[in-house]
Structure 1
């Protein structure tokens, strides 16, 4: 019944919706044309948007053309003004360059350079002459001093030898007296002998002496007189001995002085000879320097003295004059250098201005072409804009009826074409939607009529099923009521799920408590076992400590008894800290070490003293010993120097020996490698055995020719090098590009062309490096005289490029123009007499 009522209600709503849709369709009837012709309208709108876009682009191009024309006209005016300024600047710079050229001509820089060279040679000559004169004067002074020393030492030696002769005469006389005193002393010793005394006591009067047979015995009765005579004879002998010893010592001293005087005399003679030789050498060198070319070419006012005697004052004055002259020439050269640099700077500025003029001329031509293109672009844009305007007006006439339906115009399309297009499209879409809704409502109304009939039939069948379902429902309700009453009497009315949850929670809590109690019991048993173990260990340690304490008390009592201390005396000592004990122990050890060192030093000095007494001659004066010590020290120094030189030579010999060993090993490896390549050469080749060698040489030559052609393209673009002959040949020939790449022999080249080709090969060879080689130095000997100035500039540029790559380039030439092109030069100048001087000329080097 409800569905039937709902269906009827739905049918009424659909009929109202149909009426509304028909009303909307009638209201939107004017938009039918938009819906029916929307494809044409859309095509017209698309074309109009494209034409409008083209019209805007055309307007932009026209505006850009006008802007380019205006900008080009302004640029041309600026170019004309700047050209006028640059021409005036060129004229001004030309006048300034002419002024600098005139100033350079007035300064005469070549003459100043020649003057500077002459002055430099003169300074070198004067310096050499001053050194000779200084050497001559010093040798003269040394010779005079040596001659004075010779005279003084000769006098000293004569006086010493005279004293020595007198001393020797005195010693001879004293020696004769000493011999007599020795004889009397021996007689006195014999008389004083105990056996002689016993014989004298046994003598009787008138009885012969058992020694001499005499019957008179004068000393038997005068015993005291005999003793006095013996003592006198002995004293005379001792005095004679002392006198001889003193005379010997004086003779030794005088001999030493005589030897010293002789040595000093010989040294003075040697110094005199050396001074005389130095004077001769200085005088000869002075004369040789005066005979040199530079000395003969010097001006008369700067000419050095012809004699070396008293030449130093004049040479010193010449040195000052030359220094003044060199300062003047240096100022002239500096002024010339500044003028040349300023002239070069002005030329560079003039060239830059000329380049700017040429560049603007090219820019003016390009600007004129761009202005012409801009005018053509403006004409094309104006014509294209007129055509586009006509097409827009035609499209606007076609769109006008449809635009009016939405209150739109062509101006709205120009302002916002997308918005106008959306409005037109929305109006057509609204009509289409209203038409679709009308059709949909009619279809729904037909469907709902069929559904109403089906629902009425189903309602009758549902009433019968409803009565049967009510009977079943009442029976099931009674069964549910009975089951609920039976369940309420179980578990005191508690729900089954709640009862089960409560019992499971109590069981889990009991299990957790049991596990925790077991864990605590195990931990307690472990703690008990550990405590028992520690107790046993502590008891054992206590027994051991008591035994050690008792032993320590006994040892302490014995130590006190051995040291003679009691406990009261030892208590303060035991109370000292470990740091204080360590400090006291270090002080005692230091004192003992100092005492041991002092005893060792005393023993060493005593040993030195004993050795010195053993070897030192007795009675030698301290002065002679000092002289001998000085001489020995000098010899020791000489021996030390010789020993050091020998050690250094030995070290060098060891180093050379090691290098020789290394070279021998390397040579052995090279021999092995050469043998291997020799075997390869023997195994691979032609019947003559040179095919492999020539192949390697040909490959290297091919690479060298490729590198040389790169250099020759800069030096002489007309020519190129290539290998001549058949494959494997090692000859070279020239390709002449000016003659249609004609092949020519290298002998057909001129001297300058041959030099350029050789230079290209040399530069290529400098770049043809191996793995373990780097050609860092290149010397070029002669060949520049055959080049003109332009080619010479190209060659020097190539050499400077090679120098910039980390190589040194040396040019050996007599061409004078190279002096102006190469800054750093090494000049070899002849001085006469087989003497030459090497001088370095470089910027900033005097």
Structure 2
């Protein structure tokens, strides 16, 4: 980390902007530089700016008591430790800025800034702000102040405290690293060396030990919750459970019998209801079928009248077309009349447009003279308006000047009166508050004494509270020591009792042979496995043989079905050519008949004239000129035959497809069954081989007798295993008892050791607290004496200002009382200054008032002259505008001329449009007359066609009445039209509905017969003895048995659950003991590690590791100390019981005597601290390489020779590439350093910063 530039504005005595650039000459090439200047000039403020920009705090503000407060603007106060106190008094804003190289090698700019509200000196202090930017692109890092502080600390790699120990050694803080406590020294060394891993290891070891302790406690607690039943209680539980199980089986037998009887009654009632329901459905279906006769007659009629649909459609088409033509004819008459009227109206509009054009041209010629006169007046008015505008502007300016001068006169008179009044008030206030004059004259001195008194009073209160706390701690420590000794004595007595219990448990465990029990259990487990495998193999063999028999039967059925399908397919293929040929012949005959009966052929035959040649064949003889009804009958017969042949062909194709599908399905199924049989045969062979290989197969009886034999063998093995389990459980209980006794003995021994150490520690703590109590009492006496001395210095001036009781008032609230006196002093000073300023301002205000009166008088004359000239110009302009308004009502000449031209153009365009419209009207009249003639001719043709169509329809109705007397009569065209209105979809729907009624009737009849048969079969299955024939009685008896079973089953379930839970507790307790033992071993291992290096804050292992870092640092420091002060040598205090980072000094002139670092004089402490600082600079790791060092004061305590040695050490440090800056008043030292930063006072409490040589 390296500092590149320090800049700021308005910080303490450094008013305005200042900047120190270490990358510019002469500082860029100088590794050592001095910061020079008189006392109080602001040298330390430069280092304050460095700390403010990086951390928002400074070392000398941290040294102050946090209880003090300073008055600020608006009656507010600011804490003495607030960094905003560095804002210069009388400034509205300020900042501190530092450019530096971070530990990542990147350049950054950190900035701290503060301002007052509204950027006014009298405004309240606002919260400070901090920012960080990456250079040179000025990319912001961190959005808020807190985020920016964290980013800066991360880039530097040091906290504020570590920064002030290794980079900046401030006033009164030079020896801080030498005399700091061990923990803070360890943290700094850890940061400088980048070895935070040791702290993390220490924390993790401590946390892991706590986790393992918690795990042991959890397991022990779980074990206490899973204790099994005693052996006697378990035996009673098993006996009761067996009795309840037998009772439950008996109840289940009675329940099954009653349930079977109840089901028979329920089924009988269900079948009776089904039969009655079927009878009802059959009667309903018959009623529906009978009611549908009228619908069947209507459907047959609808099918028959479909032949008349083309005749009705043709008649309707002709009627519609005739109505359409008649409507067009009627509309054409009206259109003709309208066309004639349009021609007449168009001619009249042409005449009107001609007259309008003549009128517009005459008006344009008459307006020419007046247009010329209007143009002349417009030119004159434009000239006069410009001159009038200038005069009006001059008039307004004169009036504004008059108002301004009169306002200035009023303001001057007001300020003069206000200043005279303020001067009188200030003089009166000073006379009334004369007692504050002495307090205000030397307020800085009294303010400093007040701060000292407040600090002394706060220290006194702190000491009083500390003394009370020390007394309470001493009493508590005495009680703790006594309780610890009593607990130790009780633990000693407990150990003897636990030793006796441990020996008794060991003797009980010796009565068991665990190895023999395990061998017997393994033998029984092997026998049980063999029996289980044999049972499974026997079942598998039986199942496989049954499955093989079923597959063989299905194979036979599938082969038979395939043979049948093959025969049927061959027959269908053989019949297919004959059926196809018959269908083809029928279709050819039908095609010939259709050609003979085609509509075009019939039309040509009807048009033939006897004797005239035929237009098709040319023959003059026409034997078939008229159609024969027999030809149509033949045609219908052929069409029916074609439909029958086509149906036969389709049925043959369907039969072929069905048989082919059957053949394919049979083939696939045969292949599948063959694969299954092969696989099953292989499985059967494997099962048979496995059965013969099982040792039990030689003992087992034949297949029909194996099941009882297997059950007997398994029962014997289970009984033997239960006996082994009982003995092993007893052995485990004895083992558990022995281990529990052993653990209790070890825990009691460890507790005795812990209590012995606790008693010793309590006694030591009591001695320490008694010594601390005496020290605090002596310190309280010293602080009281210091407070009395300060109050004695304040007493003379405050007796006059505040009276005899001022000390009592001050003690009630020192800060508030001091602020009140500060306000009084400030008020006196303010009023004195104001009185002097007010008297000086009176003369200037009187002269300004006289000058303002003269200016106002001159402005009044100029305004009157301008007003008169503007009025004359306005009158003349008004006359000209009135004359112009009489012409064309004041309208613009161009507008009038354009309007006249538009009127002429519009009239010409209108005339042309009217002439074109007259021509179009004449053409429309001609087209309408032609259309009317064509419509009249078409109506005659349609009337003839309609008469022919009506005659053909009448013939069809007569034919229907003669041949279809069994159907509904059709007597008129309207009735026929109503029937034809029913569409094909409706007829198909009705036909399907009638078919459904027939199917429902057939189905209902079938269902009734089936249900009668079912009921008869069920009645035949009734019990022959007739017991329990009443269904209600059976249901009541079953309900009673179910209630009895519920009670028995609930008891059985409860007993099963108790037994299962006890079994589970027995197994779990055994496993948990082993788990607890394993966890205790893990806990002990981590406990030893935590005792060695573990701590909650990580300091134990960190301090241990940093001992080696400190030894290296002391090696560097002693090499520098050998030049600075050969007499002394720094060493680390070696503590064999715990890691130590404490320092001591060996005095080599006194035979190597050991001295405390606190016993060194001021000059000696400075030299030793300087050696440590130089050693820290040499020790910097790669992660935090410190390349800048700033030292504030301390060299004044050195003699001339020692100062020279210190300078040589600083020169050696800069030769290593580091930049070192020192603040000192020693002239000899500043003369030896070429590069200097000069801080010179400029007057008024401000200073300027410059860089030179």
TM-score, normalised relative to structure 1: 0.34
User: Quick one: higher RCO (CA 8 Å, sep 6+), 1 or 2?
Assistant: 2
> Which protein is richer in helix relative to its size?
1
Larger-Rg structure: 1
TM-score, normalised relative to structure 2: 0.24
